[in-house]
Chain A
Amino acid sequence: MGSLPFFLPFAELEVGQHLYWQIGNLRIHGQVFMTSWLLIGALLTLVVVGTKKMERDPQGVQNLLEFLWDYIRDLARTQIGEKVYRDWMPFIGTLFLFIFVSNWGGALVPWRLIELPSGELGAPTADINTTVALALLVSLSYFYAGLSNKGLRYFEYYVHPTPIMLPFKIVEDFTKPLSLSFRLFGNILADELVVAVLVFLVPLILPVPVMFLGLFTSAIQALIFATLAAYYIGEAVEEHH
Chain B
Amino acid sequence: MTSLLLFGAAEGGLFDFDATLPLMAVQVVLLTFILNALFFKPVGRVVEERENYVTSSRAEAKKKLAEVEQLESDLKNQLKEARQAAQKVINDAEEDSEKLYREALALATSEANASREEARKEIDSQRDSALTQLKSDADKLGELIVERLLAAK
- A65-B39, A98-B28, A137-B28 known; A16 vs B18 contact (CB < 8 Å): no
A98 and B33 CA atoms in complex are apart in Å by: 13
A224 and B29 CA atoms in complex are apart in Å by: 20
User: Are A27's CB and B18's CB within 8 A?
Assistant: yes
User: Are A132's CB and B44's CB within 8 A?
Assistant: no
Q: Determine if A129 is an interface residue (Cβ-Cβ < 8 Å).
A: yes
User: Are B31's CB and A33's CB within 8 A?
Assistant: no
Interface string of A67-92 (1 = CB under 8 A from B): 00110110000000000000001110
Find the A residue at minimum CB distance from B41. Answer: A90
* Minimum distance in angstroms from B74 CB to a CB of chain A: 36
Within 8 A of B (CB), among A174-190: 189
* Minimum distance in angstroms from A163 CB to a CB of chain B: 34
User: Are A93's CB and B24's CB within 8 A?
Assistant: no
A40 and B21 CA atoms in complex are apart in Å by: 17
A66 and B50 CA atoms in complex are apart in Å by: 11
User: Are B47's CB and A189's CB within 8 A?
Assistant: no
User: Are A136's CB and B25's CB within 8 A?
Assistant: yes
User: Are B40's CB and A6's CB within 8 A?
Assistant: no
Q: Determine if A201 is an interface residue (Cβ-Cβ < 8 Å).
A: no
- A18-B12, A65-B39, A90-B40 known; A28 vs B23 contact (CB < 8 Å): yes
Partner of A133, one of B16, B25, B33: B25
Q: Determine if B43 is an interface residue (Cβ-Cβ < 8 Å).
A: yes
- A44-B34, A48-B38 known; A28 vs B19 contact (CB < 8 Å): yes
Within 8 A of B (CB), among A38-82: 40, 43-44, 47-48, 51, 54-56, 58, 62, 65-66, 69-70, 72-73
Q: Name the segment of B1-9, B64-72, B86-94, B140-148 touching the other chain.
A: B1-9
A6 and B5 CA atoms in complex are apart in Å by: 11
How many residues of chain B have a CB within 8 Å of chain A?
A: 40
Partner of B39, one of A23, A47, A70, A124: A47
Chain A residues lying within 8 Å of B15, measured Cβ to Cβ, are 128
Q: Determine if A212 is an interface residue (Cβ-Cβ < 8 Å).
A: no
Chain A residues lying within 8 Å of B27, measured Cβ to Cβ, are 33, 36, 40
List chain A positions with a Cβ less than 8 A from chain B: 1, 4, 6-7, 15-18, 23, 26-29, 32-33, 36, 40, 43-44, 47-48, 51, 54-56, 58, 62, 65-66, 69-70, 72-73, 89-91, 93-95, 97-98, 119, 124, 127-130, 132-134, 136-137, 189
Sample of 14 A–B contacts (CB below 8 Å)? A4-B1, A4-B5, A15-B14, A16-B14, A26-B19, A47-B35, A47-B38, A47-B39, A58-B46, A62-B46, A70-B47, A93-B40, A94-B32, A129-B16
